Chain A
Amino acid sequence: MTTNSKELKTISLESEITKKDFWKCFRRSCTLDSSWNYERMQNLAFAYMMAPIIRRLYKDEDKRADALKRHMEFMSVTPHISTLLVGVAGAMEEENAKNKGFDAASINAVKSSLMGPMAGIGDAFFWGTLKLIAAGVGISLATQGNIMGPILFFLIINIPHFVLRYICLDKGFKYGAQFFKDLSMSNVVSKVTEAASMLGLMVIGGMTAANVYFELPIMIGSGEWAEPLQSYLDEIMPCLLPALLFLLMYWLIGKKVKTTTLLLSIIVVCIVLAFVGIV
Chain B
Amino acid sequence: MLVVQTILIILIAFFAYMHCYMGSTMHNRPIIIAPLVGLVLGDLHTGIVIGATLELVFMGAFPIGASNPPDFVSGAIISTAYVIITGQEVASAVVLAVPIATLVLLFDNFQMTVLLTWASHIADKYAEKGDIKGVERVQRIAGIGNKVLLALVVGLGFVVGVPVIEMILQYIPEFVTRGLDVAAGIIPAIGFAMLARMMMTKKMIPFLLLGFILASYLNMPIIGVALFGLVIALVFFYYNGAMTKEVVNDDNEF
* Residues of A in contact with B (beta carbons under 8 Å apart): 29-41, 43-45, 47-48, 51, 54-55, 60-65, 68-69, 72, 76, 79-80, 119, 123-124, 127-129, 131-143, 145-147, 149-150, 153-154, 157-158, 161-162, 165, 191-192, 194-214, 237-239, 242-243, 245-246, 248-250, 252-254, 259-260, 262-263, 266-267, 269-275, 279
Contact = CB atoms under 8 A, between A and B. Distances in A.
Interface of B: 18, 20-27, 29, 31-32, 35, 44-46, 48-49, 51-53, 55-56, 59-60, 62-66, 70, 98, 102, 112-113, 116-117, 119-120, 123-124, 126-132, 135-136, 138-140, 142-144, 146-147, 175-176, 178-180, 182-183, 185-190, 192-201, 204, 207-217, 220-223, 225-226, 228-230, 232-234, 236-237, 240-241
A47 B240 contact: no
Given A61-B130, A79-B23, A80-B24, A35 B226 contact: no
Contact of A44 (B119, B175, B214, B217): B119
Contacts of B233: 195-196, 198-199
B180 A267 contact: yes
Most chain B CB atoms below 10 A, which of A55, A72, A138, A249: A249
Contacts of B65: 76, 119, 123
Given A69-B127, A201-B196, A79 B24 contact: yes
B182 A203 contact: no
A37 B199 contact: no
B234 to A, nearest CB: 7
A165 B131 CA distance: 28
A197 B46 CA distance: 33
Contact of A132 (B144, B193, B195): B195
A154 B211 contact: no
B127 A153 contact: no
Contacts of B222: 136-137, 139-140, 203, 206-207, 210
A150 B31 contact: yes
A260 B127 CA distance: 39
Most chain A CB atoms below 10 A, which of B126, B180, B223: B223
B182 A270 contact: yes
A202 B232 contact: yes
Nearest to A156: B226
A6 B65 CA distance: 41
Contacts of A202: 207-208, 210-211, 214, 225-226, 228-229, 232
Nearest to A70: B127
Contacts, number: 369
B120 to A, nearest CB: 5
B172 to A, nearest CB: 10
Nearest to B234: A195
A47 B135 contact: yes
A31 B175 contact: no
Contact of B182 (A149, A153, A195, A214): A214
A197 B202 CA distance: 12
A201 B211 CA distance: 7
B48 A273 contact: no
B86 to A, nearest CB: 19
Contact of B139 (A45, A246, A248, A259): A45
A199 B136 CA distance: 41
B67 to A, nearest CB: 9
Contacts of B63: 33, 36, 127
Contact of A194 (B35, B53, B176, B236): B236
B66 A31 contact: no
B146 A35 contact: yes
B124 to A, nearest CB: 6
A39 B31 contact: no
20 contacts: A29-B23, A44-B123, A54-B132, A76-B66, A79-B20, A80-B23, A123-B198, A139-B31, A143-B52, A145-B49, A197-B200, A199-B230, A199-B233, A202-B232, A203-B226, A204-B195, A206-B214, A253-B193, A266-B190, A274-B178
Contact of A207 (B112, B138, B192): B192
Contacts of B221: 140, 210
A223 to B, nearest CB: 26
Contacts of B127: 47, 65, 68-69, 72
Nearest to B174: A274
Given A150-B48, A243-B212, A157 B26 contact: yes
